[in-house]
């Protein structure tokens, strides 16, 4: 992990001259892998403000207060960035929000609608306040919040802890408390804070500079009194600074927020199907290695689900959904939900796979076998079951196999294996095997029978 980081804007403009790059995180060219909550939210699903609890066991370093646990399960929802980039406006946001409510995905947990970069005017207002772009959002952001809450959804928004966002809009640097109060006043429930254009004061290292500003953002959100789930992007800016530094940044990010972007951005809708698949594979591989740094309520985030993007096959969409569920990753769709195909809706809405992701034990799955062409993962679930993924990353079908012992199941004379895609079940004496299509994943939930 020693590759020089390349800021998002430069990377995307170098490859997609028609796309303005301006969202969270980075694209690296090489490398491996004070408003109170709304009353209607009192019955919100786990992970929302309604069932938030302080994570008092966490001792933040250097006097920083540990952020409350507002996401006991991985967040779920929608973000415009990967599909729309800067072509975001009021209609795009509300059309996708209404699609979430209409197609049943909101009822399955996809309840947070987040507006990414490029939503604001290039200049702050006369009192130093953030101003929504009046052409894109003519009714303003408080209106968006009210409309989302009326649909039973949560409101997420993007900012940057630097002087400017990645798209060169006003950052929160020097305005953390003011912006946090403004977000709370708009009814914001979720903040994604990017890390472009972070100044480095004299005598401070890059890591210290990032930690300083993210601590300020964290404290400012706490001071509003509104429970705002906090997504930290700091680790994405250290993926190529060496594992020890990268992992240290993840550790303090877990004290300051609820989830964190770990590395490279997922591909954009405008890119080729091959690029999208390569991006999914890359993000899976780097995130799978971070399982020791994640813990229940504090989530590694390998970026958006591309399920529904043009060009991805059913097997590729299913693989991303299954692997993200195995990693207890946030399930945040970034596509045009109003035009979602039936098969993409089926993949995103698979209750059995969502249950693996949202399992209350909160474990990230572990890799038990892997080479260049396949991965076997195992994830312990609350009731003692194991979720087991057989992932064929190669370009031809192959039979993959493992055993109950290898994936951590207790000894038993019989096991019940249920395929979470087909719903079919069968008995096993302990052998776990399947013929897996190219770029496909077979995901089992396995129970030891007494």
Which residues participate in catalysis according to the annotation?
A: 194, 265
Alpha-carbon 412 to chain mean position = 37
Indicate the pairing of strand 386-392 with strand 441-449: antiparallel
Q: Compute the distance between CA of residue 106 and CA of residue 99 in angstroms, rounded to an integer.
A: 9
Q: Residue 110 is encoded by which pair of tokens?
A: 């996809």
Indicate the pairing of strand 431-436 with strand 398-403: antiparallel
Q: Compute the distance between CA of residue 219 and CA of residue 236 in angstroms, rounded to an integer.
A: 21
Q: Compute the distance between CA of residue 290 and CA of residue 89 in angstroms, rounded to an integer.
A: 35
Q: Residue 131 is encoded by which pair of tokens?
A: 């101003």
Q: Compute the distance between CA of residue 416 and CA of residue 448 in angstroms, rounded to an integer.
A: 7
SS3 10: helix
Dihedral sign from CA coordinates of 204, 205, 206, 210:
negative
Helix, strand, coil share (%) of the chain residues, nearest 5: 30, 20, 45
Dihedral sign from CA coordinates of 334, 337, 342, 345:
positive
Angstrom CA distances, 399 to 186, 373, 428, 444, stand at 52, 11, 16, 15
Q: Residue 215 is encoded by which pair of tokens?
A: 């601590």
SS3 387: strand
Q: Would you tell me how many other CB atoms lie within 10 Å of the CB of residue 44?
A: 18
Alpha-carbon 34 to chain mean position = 26
Sheet with strand 414-419: strands edge to edge: 366-371, 374-380, 386-392, 441-449, 414-419, 425-428
Q: Compute the distance between CA of residue 428 and CA of residue 410 in angstroms, rounded to an integer.
A: 13
* 365: DSSP letter: P
| Among the listed residues 238, 231, 349, the one whose alpha carbon sits nearest the alpha carbon of residue 299 | 231
């Amino acid at each position: 992990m020693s590759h020089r980081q390349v800021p998002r804007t430069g990377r995307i403009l170098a490859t997609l001259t028609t796309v303005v790059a301006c969202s969270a995180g980075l694209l690296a060219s090489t490398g491996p892998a004070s408003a109170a909550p709304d009353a209607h939210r009192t019955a919100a699903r786990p992970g929302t403000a309604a069932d938030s609890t302080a994570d008092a066991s966490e001792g933040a370093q250097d006097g920083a207060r540990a952020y409350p646990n507002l996401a006991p399960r991985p967040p779920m929802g929608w973000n415009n960035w990967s599909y729309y980039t800067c072509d975001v406006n009021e209609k795009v946001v509300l059309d996708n929000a209404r699609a979430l409510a209409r197609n049943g995905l909101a009822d399955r947990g996809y309840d947070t609608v987040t507006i990414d970069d490029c939503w604001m005017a290039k200049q702050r207002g006369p009192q130093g306040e953030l101003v929504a772009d009046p052409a894109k959002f003519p009714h303003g952001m408080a209106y968006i919040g009210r409309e989302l809450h009326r649909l039973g959804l949560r409101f997420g928004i993007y900012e940057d802890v630097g002087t400017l966002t990645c798209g060169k809009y006003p950052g929160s640097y020097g305005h953390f408390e003011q912006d946090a109060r403004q977000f709370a006043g708009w009814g914001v429930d979720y903040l994604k804070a990017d890390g472009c254009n972070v100044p480095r004061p004299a005598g401070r290292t890059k890591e210290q500079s990032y930690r300083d500003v993210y601590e300020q953002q964290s404290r400012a959100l706490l001071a509003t009194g509104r429970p705002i789930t906090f997504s930290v992007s700091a680790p994405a800016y250290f993926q190529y600074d060496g594992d020890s530094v990268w992992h240290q940044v993840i550790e303090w990010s877990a004290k300051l927020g609820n989830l964190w972007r770990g590395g490279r951005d997922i591909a954009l809708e405008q890119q080729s199907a091959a690029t999208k698949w390569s991006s999914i594979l890359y993000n899976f591989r780097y995130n799978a290695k971070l399982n020791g740094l994640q813990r229940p309520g504090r989530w590694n985030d390998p970026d958006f689900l591309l399920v529904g993007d043009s060009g991805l096959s059913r097997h590729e969409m299913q693989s991303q959904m299954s692997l993200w569920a195995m990693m207890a990753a946030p399930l945040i769709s970034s596509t045009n939900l109003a035009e979602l195909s039936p098969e993409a809706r089926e993949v995103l809405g698979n209750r059995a796979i969502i249950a693996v992701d949202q399992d209350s034990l909160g474990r990230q799955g572990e890799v038990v076998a892997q080479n260049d062409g396949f991965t076997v993962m195992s994830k312990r679930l609350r009731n003692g079951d194991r979720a087991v993924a057989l992932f064929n990353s190669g370009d031809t079908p192959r039979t993959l196999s493992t055993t109950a012992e290898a994936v951590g199941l207790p000894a038993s004379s019989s096991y019940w294996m249920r395929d979470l895609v087909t719903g079919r079940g069968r008995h096993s004496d302990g052998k776990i095997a399947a013929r897996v299509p190219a770029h496909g994943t077979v995901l089992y939930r396995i129970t030891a029978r007494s």
